[in-house]
């Protein structure tokens, strides 16, 4: 079992599903009487990426009681997963080939604030399941992203790892979990203060070697002195 790993956020890091999700949600909201004719824009959907279902529900339906908010959003999310599993979404350039290359050296993982089934839809639609050792989401555990990152690291026995994401929330989650953070600057968010930045996904193997292999070499040197 590989003990060095790379953990990824999903939306804004591996793919951009904002356009199909906008279309799917609007179709559902139009048929749901409780939605009151509400629609969502592409900009709104993009702003929701990385947030929990509870946060999104409160922003989208502030006038509704919590029970109604959650019910409407769960309907959108459940149907969304079924459709995305068949259609997929826009992968960022170089994602399939780079993941294949990385998986030969490192254990790969996905940790997202999404609903249960969303990561599986991504993996199934694009034939990427074989590259990932494990994944976790807040929709399954009810935990914060930082806690879910810690869980994945612990249950997979990782001794070295870092987290790749595109938002300030991702940076905070990585810090809470005690992992280095790599900012995917091509995504939805803005983390200008991030020390490690990635503008091209295909450059990640080079950065991973620098972050993980050099760190491993330094640790071995310290232990031998």
Is residue 67 domain-shared with residue 29, that is, in the same domain? yes
Looking at the fold, whether 76 and 161 belong to one and the same domain comes out as no
Q: 148 pLDDT exceeds 60?
A: yes
For residue 224, tell me if it sits in a domain: no
- Give the model confidence (pLDDT) of 214-225 as tens digits: 655 444 434 434
Q: How many domains, in total, are found in the chain?
A: 2
- Whether residue 78 is found in the same domain as residue 120: no
> For the segment 158-193, what is each residue's pLDDT rounded down to a tens digit?
999 999 999 999 999 999 999 999 999 999 999 999
The span from the CA of 19 to the CA of 1, in Å, is 38
pTM > 0.85? yes
**Single residue among 34, 66, 87 that ends a domain in this structure:** 87
pLDDT recorded at residue 220: 44
Mean pLDDT of all residues in the chain?
93
The residue out of 87, 109, 141 marking a domain boundary is 87
Q: Is residue 205 part of a domain?
A: yes
Task: Find residue 134's DSSP bridge partners.
Answer: 109
Query: Do 44 and 149 share a domain, yes or no?
Result: no
Residue 213: pLDDT band by 50, 70, 90 thresholds? confident
Structural domain including 108 reads 4-16+91-219
Model confidence at 195, pLDDT cuts 50, 70, 90, reads very high
Verify that 36 and 144 share a domain, yes or no: no
Check which CATH number belongs to the domain holding 147 and give it. Answer: 3.40.50.1000
| Whether residue 9 sits in one domain with residue 29 | no
Looking at the fold, whether 59 and 98 belong to one and the same domain comes out as: no
Q: Whose CA is closest to 108, among 220, 1, 218? A: 1
Cα Dmax for the chain: 70
What are the distances in angstroms from CA 196 to CA 78, 82, 141, 158, 181? 35, 35, 29, 20, 7
Domain check: are 151 and 81 in the same one? no
What 8-state DSSP symbol labels residue 11?
A: B
Evaluated on CA atoms 28, 189, 50, 55, the torsion sign reads negative
Q: Report yes or no on 225 lying in a domain.
A: no
- Residue 68 sits at the vertex; the CA angle it makes with 63 and 61, to the nearest 5 degrees, is 35
């Amino acid at each position: 079992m590989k003990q060095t790993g790379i953990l990824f956020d999903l939306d804004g890091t591996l793919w951009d599903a904002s356009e199909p999700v906008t279309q799917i949600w609007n179709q559902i909201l139009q048929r749901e009487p409780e939605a009151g004719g509400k629609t969502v824009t592409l900009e709104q959907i993009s702003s929701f990426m990385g947030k929990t279902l509870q946060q999104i529900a409160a922003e989208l339906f502030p006038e509704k009681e919590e029970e109604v908010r959650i019910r409407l959003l769960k309907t959108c999310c459940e149907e969304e997963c079924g459709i995305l599993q068949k259609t997929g979404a826009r992968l960022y350039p170089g994602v399939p080939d780079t993941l294949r290359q990385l998986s030969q050296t490192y254990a790969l993982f996905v940790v997202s604030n999404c609903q249960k089934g969303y990561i599986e839809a991504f993996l199934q639609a694009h034939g990427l399941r074989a590259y990932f050792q494990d994944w976790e989401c807040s929709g399954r555990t009810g935990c914060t992203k930082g806690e879910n990152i810690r869980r994945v690291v612990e249950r997979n026995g990782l001794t070295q790892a870092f987290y790749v994401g595109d938002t300030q929330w991702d940076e905070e989650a990585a810090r809470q979990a005690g992992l280095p953070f790599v900012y995917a600057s091509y995504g939805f968010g803005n983390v200008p203060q991030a020390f490690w930045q990635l503008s091209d996904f295909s450059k990640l193997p080079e950065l991973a070697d620098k972050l993980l292999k050099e760190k491993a070499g330094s640790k071995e040197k310290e232990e031998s002195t």
